[in-house]
Structure 1
């Protein structure tokens, strides 16, 4: 089989996973060449993520409301290696994935159906946090609504790393890639936060805010569902 024919027969999900492995197997090092190589591979991954559609993963909006007591969010596992994880999050109408972080991680999020609002923050260094608990000085970075026609939402270790995701006007689903995956034993645990509007810093024109680390909100929990799409092999 010729390479072009093989590429045409390979699912877009498989090609995304392979590109994610190439991209994140060697995260950017100290040299300019390593950074250039990472950027080129990341651009290829971004392009593939921009192509994937709900039908490629055999996803469709739910035909009926979820049963009473169903989790607000469910997760479909696609694949995971030591370098990245890939899966699908399904949000009920009105559901919210609370403000949380991704320590030292890159990410790409691509909506498959519905609409989500994503509010992102950048962590800032602080030498003298105010009293009252685990606080982080942050800068609101971006806030936007994403649909299946939108480009992927990107996050990096130093940019848009903390975010909240809200389903808007109905249920929604998105493909999610995180690199490296969460791993509490390696310092990559998920932490939740709430914004302290009364803790604005500096003059009234300052956009900086304080976020307080909190326990996982009781209104949020995540169930699981089987992934119905093409198998991924790495």
Structure 2
């Protein structure tokens, strides 16, 4: 996807340059004097975004690897601390104050804070009612943090094929277990999904304008792209006699069908203009 330039307006207000990008505003303080910058740094701790970056470099070791439990705990402790201002955002921004109803499926915007072969740091901006369709994260571990807004999250994991092989009613459908089907309101704890557990297949639906921070290791690439799915109620293709699934457990399962990637997915990319990461190299 290309960087979206439509709707980008740059203004000058005092010593700070303010840029509006698809109604998401960042403030660039390049106009502040060096003397004042030095004075601001005295006694300040290292930014949490920099801590996150440095920890990601230690934890993510490339494709085919999954962080150890202690490493997951370490990253969760950092991501749990992340606040909108750590990436240059605020609930006072016009994007998050918008109450206008949008016809159809509003476009999702995303920005990449940092990306390398081992991991990526991204933010997704969803207007109210916007949807990121049901999709997977092949071979990836993902730490997801809702920074602003209210969102419904639905996620699934595949049922062990050894336990579900005889129950699949059609070759194009596959049994999945519901891992989440709830509304989340910021601030909330970090969600972690793994290559085969934790809700690797998920869908986001914005109830209000939202901002979501995603830490993905490894990131998507041309040979590790996502697949899209359509879900069906368990009862739609089963008479309740599936091995290992009782009548009471029906709502905990669903049938998933892989579908083609949308020709024009409702997502645009914008430039990241928030606080910067200092990359000293590996």
Same-fold call, TM cutoff 0.5: yes
Q: Unaligned stretches of 5+ in structure 2?
A: 1-40
Q: What is the alpha-carbon root mean square deviation over aligned residues?
A: 2.9
SS at match of 1:25: coil
With a CA cutoff of 8 Å and minimum separation of 6, indicate the structure with the bigger relative contact order.
Answer: 1
Distance 1:24 1:6 in 2: 32
Match of 2:256 among 211, 215, 224: 211
Equivalent position of 1:74 in the other structure: 109
1:180 CA displacement = 0.7
SS at match of 2:268: strand
Q: Unaligned stretches of 5+ in structure 1?
A: 30-34
Distance 2:60 2:225 in 1: 19
Distance 1:7 1:82 in 2: 34
**Does structure 1 conserve the Cα–Cα contact (< 8 Å) formed by 2:107 and 2:266?**
yes
Aligned in 2, Cα 1:79/1:221: closer, same or farther, shift over 3 Å?
A: same
Match of 1:24 among 55, 60, 63: 60
Distance 2:101 2:109 in 1: 11
Equivalent position of 1:59 in the other structure: 89
**Does structure 1 conserve the Cα–Cα contact (< 8 Å) formed by 2:62 and 2:117?**
no
1:148 CA displacement = 2.4
TM-superposition CA deviations, 1:93-152 (whole Å, max 9, x none): 11111111011111011111111111111112333543363x322111122222322101
**Does structure 2 conserve the Cα–Cα contact (< 8 Å) formed by 1:28 and 1:38?**
no
Distance 2:254 2:194 in 1: 20
Number of residue pairs matched by the alignment: 220
**Does structure 2 conserve the Cα–Cα contact (< 8 Å) formed by 1:99 and 1:192?**
yes
- Find runs of 4+ consecutive structure 1 residues off by over 6 angstroms: 26-29, 66-70
Match of 2:141 among 90, 106, 110: 106
1:204 CA displacement = 3.8
Single out whichever of 191-200 and 202-211 deviates more from structure 2.
202-211
Distance 1:26 1:38 in 2: 13
1:221 CA displacement = 1.4
Task: Give the TM-score normalised by structure 1.
Answer: 0.82
Equivalent position of 1:167 in the other structure: 206
Task: Give the TM-score normalised by structure 2.
Answer: 0.69
Match of 1:156 among 194, 199, 209: 194
Structure whose CA Rg is larger: 2
TM-superposition CA deviations, 1:74-98 (whole Å, max 9, x none): 0011001111111100001111111
